[in-house]
Structure 1
Amino acid sequence: MKFSHQQQEPLTINLTPLIDVVFLLLIFFMVTTTFTRETQLEVSLPEASSAQAASQEQERIDILINADGQYSVNGQALVNTQPETLRRAVIELAGEQRKIPYVITADAQTPHQAVVSAMDVAGQLGFSQLRITTQESVELHDSVD
């Protein structure tokens, strides 16, 4: 007995329905997506335009922040970088006086968070005379000489 060998049809995948679904998904996402434009603030940091003689005040709170974010209050280094430690040191030094100047001097490489924390402590304690020291611009200094 001889069996006839049936010829197999080549298997093909019809891609037309797949392409239709992909195009429908593409149209759906294009219609439902909202595009937002990110806005950025341009910040121009201050420089001292001329050397102004600061009035010599006998009492003031000097906060010095080094490049690592370590605080020093009136020359006394603090044990850590926690805002609460800075707050306690300022309260101990200032007592009930809130009208004395609160001067922040930070290294150029200081993390921004350390400066903001020092400013936040001043605001929480109610200091009204907050100052941030700057240095005279090198370009302006050279042109004056």
Structure 2
Amino acid sequence: MKFRKPQVEEISINLTPMIDCLLFLVVFLLVSTSFNKYSRLNLVLPQATGVPEVKRPQKIEVGVDAKGAYTVNGKPLVTDSEDELRTAIDTASHGDRTRPLVIAADGRASHQSVVRVMDVSGKLGFVNLNISTRIPMGSK
């Protein structure tokens, strides 16, 4: 009697069901996902149309021009250093920290220049800080 050798079948993995499942998951995720356009941040800055300024002779006005040069109550400073700005504001205030401090900055002045004035005045103890704006043309 002759016995046949048992044939060994090749082992193989059938990938078709796995690919079908993955495609089904991809389609499900695409259908259930909502796409919003929040990748951009559009800013519309408001214009100030507030109350007109009340004339107070005891206010301190710090001006910042487009180049970053400072003036305190109309007197220009020699340098743009923080120490000179602190000294000028302290001299103009005569030690009275309750006086309003108005920052009049040019529209093209750097943000750093304006923040420096706010930082110096905050370190000196001023709490009544105002930023002067202009009323846009055509609105009243």
Indicate the SS of the match to 1:85. Answer: helix
* Count of aligned residue pairs for this structure pair: 102
Query: Which runs of 5 or more structure 2 residues have no equivalent in the other structure?
Result: 1-38
Instruction: Identify if the C-alpha distance between structure 1 residues 116 and 42 changes in structure 2 by more than 3 Å, giving closer, same or farther.
Output: farther
C-alpha distance in 1 between matches for 2:84 and 2:41: 32
- How far 1:95 sits from its partner (Å)? 2.0
C-alpha RMSD of matched pairs (Å): 2.0
C-alpha distance in 1 between matches for 2:43 and 2:95: 35
Letter in 2 for 1:101: P
C-alpha distance in 2 between matches for 1:116 and 1:40: 26
The aligned runs of 1:47-58 (5 Å cut-off) are 47-50=47-50, 52-58=51-57
- How far 1:53 sits from its partner (Å)? 2.4
- How far 1:47 sits from its partner (Å)? 1.9
C-alpha distance in 2 between matches for 1:133 and 1:68: 18
C-alpha distance in 2 between matches for 1:67 and 1:89: 20
Is contact 1:46-1:134 (8 Å) kept? no
- How far 1:107 sits from its partner (Å)? 0.5
- How far 1:54 sits from its partner (Å)? 1.5
What is residue 110 of structure 1 aligned with on the other side? 109
TM-score for both structures, normalised by structure 1: 0.63
Indicate the SS of the match to 1:62. Answer: strand
What is residue 129 of structure 2 aligned with on the other side? 130
Is contact 1:68-1:110 (8 Å) kept? yes
The structure whose Rg is larger is: 2
What is residue 61 of structure 1 aligned with on the other side? 60
Cα deviations by residue, 1:3-28 (Å, 9 ceiling, x for unpaired) = xxxxxxxxxxxxxxxxxxxxxxxxxx
Cα deviations by residue, 1:51-110 (Å, 9 ceiling, x for unpaired) = x22212110110011000000000100001111110000111112100000000011110
What is residue 100 of structure 1 aligned with on the other side? 99
Indicate the SS of the match to 1:134. Answer: coil
C-alpha distance in 1 between matches for 2:44 and 2:61: 25
Instruction: Identify if the C-alpha distance between structure 1 residues 58 and 43 changes in structure 2 by more than 3 Å, giving closer, same or farther.
Output: same
Letter in 2 for 1:113: Q
C-alpha distance in 1 between matches for 2:47 and 2:79: 30
